[in-house]
A = this chain, B = another copy of it.
């Protein structure tokens, strides 16, 4: 259920209602909109009296939440959520640009990459320190050292650091360095990890699993939201289909589909979504035109020497030209790119 509170209701009345909801055995999530506050009351509702809540002081009305994802649902919060980290902003007309190499390889590499992508217009820096690799014999990342290099790059450039965390016991460590915690596609249904990042107060960028349905994707976000972390960014990075000419198939229709159902921002990853560098510019521009709230793009000072994902990585020059095109489209459609 959603308890829509009256305008200008006091904090103590809100806390009062939270207590009553919890007494009923439900979990209460306070969602503060620009106009009003609502309380999402989530849990087994059978036998719970909607009427009793509706008659409480400060409550305007009580509505059911029909979607299986409760806190993520647009029913609970119709206005778009804007997620911010330093100068990076995603959602509500803000198109955030996150770029950088697949893996952090050295301090020099990540600082150079950071400067290059910032120069081209990015406000977020991506780079993997913990790398989920298909083979146990592949490079697994620089681990905490990589996180330190990312922090150094932020120091130099002011870019917000977006980096992956792979297992619950690393969440605290990664959160110490990162501005946005990334959950990779392979971990979209690693529920203990989702709960662990839900307990942190840093934004989470959640990648869609390669064969996840939209409902599974939103319910994965719900695992994070349910722990009290309201800053979740959904990232469409392509699905696995019979098509093999591209690494994955990137369904841009996800942007409009998700915008109809959730207030959370939706970011596109055209690098994994295609797997081919020459297709990334076209799909980046298309993503902005489709209404995406951000882009996350692989850029390396020299893609031919990248330790991972070189084939889908842009040079700084092509990245700059791509962002220039994106900016033209954003301007034409009234979005703000940054």
Contact = CB atoms under 8 A, between A and B. Distances in A.
A191 B169 contact: no
Interface size class of A (residues with CB under 8 A): 35 or more
Contacts of A257: 245-246, 276, 279
A189 interface: yes
Contacts of A288: 289
Interface string A161-188: 0000011110000000000000000110
Contact of A333 (B209, B252, B260, B329): B329
Interface stretch (A86-94, A101-109, A132-140, A148-156): A132-140
A278 B252 contact: no
B290 A278 contact: no
A257 B99 CA distance: 23
Contacts of A193: 167
A274 interface: yes
A192 interface: yes
Interface centre among A136, A222, A249, A288 (most CB of B within 10 A): A136
Contacts of A279: 253, 256-257
A317 B288 CA distance: 23
A192 to B, nearest CB: 4
Contact of A283 (B189, B191, B290): B290
B242 A253 contact: no
A250 interface: yes
Interface in A200-220: 209-211, 213-216, 219
- Copy number in the complex reads 4
Contacts of A44: 137
A240 interface: yes
Contacts of A333: 285, 325, 328-329
B213 A245 contact: yes
Given A167-B168, A239-B242, A135 B214 contact: no
Given A186-B189, A245-B214, A286 B226 contact: no
Nearest to A214: B245
A252 to B, nearest CB: 5
Contacts of A246: 251, 253, 257
Nearest to A131: B191
Residue of A226, A251, A290 ringed by the most chain B CB atoms within 10 A: A251
A256 B241 contact: no
A109 B189 CA distance: 28
A64 interface: no
Given A135-B222, A191-B166, A243 B251 contact: yes
A222 B273 CA distance: 27
A332 interface: yes
Given A133-B191, A282-B290, 4 more contacts: A135-B222, A166-B192, A249-B249, A253-B274
4 smallest A-B Cβ distances: which pairs?
Answer: A211-B211, A289-B289, A167-B192, A286-B290
